[in-house]
Amino acid sequence: MSLAVKSLLVTLLLSIGFAMPKMVSQNVHQTFKDTRVINSQSIETLRKGILDFRIGHRFGNFSGGWSSFYGLETASDVLFEFDYGLTDNMMVGLMRTKGSGPLKQNISGLLKLRVLRQGDSSPFSIAFSGLSSISTMAKTDDPGRINFFPKFVHRMSYHLQVIIASRVSERLALQVSPQWTYRNYIANDDTSPIQDNNAIASISGSAKFQFTKSFALIYDMTISFSEYRGALDAQGNKTFFLPIGVGFEWETGGGHVFQMNLTNASGIVETDYIPYTSSNWGDGEYRLGFTIGRHFKL
């Protein structure tokens, strides 16, 4: 684990620790503005009876230069999503993504449940989130490709996480989330000395700094605990990189939340960007992304 990664985790933990005496007396109704922080799910759930229609877009690499208008003429992933608040602490979602990894044309279902809210009795909030994704891409007859799909269930992937968040002050919010991702089918190269695993454990850290009532700076990063993703290829180069995103969110009023970001993750959902992020910030392989959400009361 790099020094930068360790420093981030230590900063998150120390910030929460030093702020705990202040947080005990707070009653927090909103930690983040949106149900997502760039790549990661946030602690937030929709209020009961609220339908959220979301469109998300990830462009191509900025390093593409003028020939691709710095990635703006290409799309690495596109999201269409409907989320609904069953209660003030439980929401469900259904989404379709183009997919940027080997598994494409994905339909995913989401369930998020908040079990503890920050307030007089707790210095933080806790929620659980689960996602199930199925690839609808055409089956191939090549057994070396991931869409060979020997069985129908091999089209499916899953993601589970625990979300722990705290509004440290009026302006600063922090979140950490242990996660587990599982793919039913992977296509390993038998000649490689290190093989990929179906299951991937990871942890994400997120932060928000609120500049004004409606405008905030947001950041998140996910660390995977995978020997395969830390290995070098035959030329001594890294193949996978940590998904890192930085951006801003703007609550424009009337049920609109607009988010714009830069991230090296080309996929949008966890079953895509956690296993398959192969772009490096240091090589200019980051991309512009945005999400627009509109709330409707049903």
Q: For 220-239, write each residue's pLDDT tens digit.
A: 999 999 888 888 877 778 88
> Which region among 102-116, 164-178, 250-264 has the lowest average model confidence (pLDDT)?
250-264
91-101: average pLDDT: 95
264-285: average pLDDT: 92
Can you give the pTM of this predicted structure?
0.86
pLDDT band at 21 (very low <50, low <70, confident <90, very high): very low
Tell me which DSSP letter residue 49 carries.
Answer: T
Q: Which domains does the chain have, with CATH numbers?
A: 3-297 (2.40.160.40)
pLDDT band at 65 (very low <50, low <70, confident <90, very high): confident
Residue 2, pLDDT score: 53
Give the residue carrying structure tokens 């209020």: 47
Cα separation, 103 vs 96, in Å, equals: 13
Distance from the first to the final alpha carbon of the chain? 46
Q: Is the pLDDT of residue 22 over 90?
A: no
Give which of 131, 119, 104, 121 is closest to 35, Cα–Cα.
131
- List pLDDT tens digits, range 199-219: 999 999 999 999 988 899 999
Given a contact cutoff of 8 angstroms between Cβ atoms, the answer to whether 36 and 163 are in contact is no
Cα separation, 74 vs 60, in Å, equals: 5
